[in-house]
């Protein structure tokens, strides 16, 4: 379990991030808040924290300078800001991650995974996705997903209950985010959950899922896909 320190001069912003950590990051079991550098220094010198979330543009303070001061007490620094012009500057040795407001739940999870000790992080397989649309956030477990179809900057998730969900992220984004041996690309436009594959038709270049759905497999990706499929079923 992890402890987190949220540093932001806006009470509402601290409250929002606290609620997101509580909702989406069960690994975090203790959260403290600071509104300025003085409070942050007091907390880190009197208690231990695994990760600190620091707003770069604090009132009358520079969050990057603050991070340099508390990094010796807290191993993992995550910069948070509404101003993306700070992005390049923020990615320095003090930071393990950078989050742009409003914070994306998936990227928040990534930051928490990075903050975990190496032996925990390397052994951890994520098992769910938080998919944000304009009106809602949908939670999908990996086993709920049959496949994901990409179309330009959009991805459609096809679930086992027959529903589909269109998200405005390209397929490569989710392939990198999932990063699991349970999924493999059969085609530039398809990422498939391998446990639901029934057979691969070599002659016709098709992947058949257990519900009868047929998806294409490209010449370029056929061998990598077969290797992933066979490795999972050995």
CATH assignment of the domain containing 50 = 3.40.50.2300
Shared-domain flag, residues 94 and 70: yes
Among 123, 138, 168, residue at a domain's last position: 123
**Token pair of 186, please?**
């059969």
Residue 90 has pLDDT above 60, yes or no: no
Max mean pLDDT among 69-78, 127-136, 145-154 falls in: 145-154
DSSP state of 202: T
Domain range for 180 is 128-232
Identify how many contiguous H helices and E strands the chain contains and give both numbers: 8, 17
Closest CA to 114 of 25, 40, 23, 181: 25
Mean pLDDT of all residues belonging to the chain: 87
Q: What is the pLDDT of residue 125?
A: 46
Q: What is the pLDDT of residues 202-219, one digit of tens each?
A: 999 999 999 999 999 999
pLDDT band at 92 (very low <50, low <70, confident <90, very high): low
pLDDT at 167 over 60: yes
Note whether 76 and 138 are same-domain residues: no
The count of structural domains within the chain is 2
């Amino acid at each position: 379990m992890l402890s987190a320190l949220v540093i932001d001069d806006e009470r509402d912003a601290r409250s929002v991030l606290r609620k997101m950590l509580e909702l989406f990051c069960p690994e975090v079991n203790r959260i403290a808040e600071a509104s300025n550098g003085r409070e942050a220094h007091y907390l880190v010198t009197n208690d231990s924290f695994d990760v600190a979330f620091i707003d770069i543009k604090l009132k009358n303070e520079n969050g990057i300078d603050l991070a340099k001061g508390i990094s010796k007490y807290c191993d993992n620094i995550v910069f948070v800001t509404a101003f993306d012009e700070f992005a390049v500057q923020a990615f320095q040795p003090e930071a393990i991650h950078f989050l742009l407001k409003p914070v994306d739940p998936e990227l928040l999870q990534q930051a928490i995974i990075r903050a975990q000790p190496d032996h925990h992080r390397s052994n951890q397989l994520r098992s769910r996705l938080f998919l944000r649309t304009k009106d809602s956030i949908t939670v999908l477990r990996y086993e709920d997903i049959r496949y994901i179809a990409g179309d330009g900057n959009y991805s459609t998730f096809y679930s086992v209950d027959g529903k589909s969900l269109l998200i405005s992220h390209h397929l490569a984004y989710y392939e990198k985010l999932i990063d699991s041996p349970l999924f493999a690309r059969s085609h530039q436009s398809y990422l498939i959950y391998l446990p639901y594959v029934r057979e691969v038709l070599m002659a016709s270049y098709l992947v058949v899922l257990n519900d009868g759905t047929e998806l294409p497999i490209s010449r370029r990706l056929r061998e990598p896909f077969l290797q992933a499929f066979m490795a999972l079923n050995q």
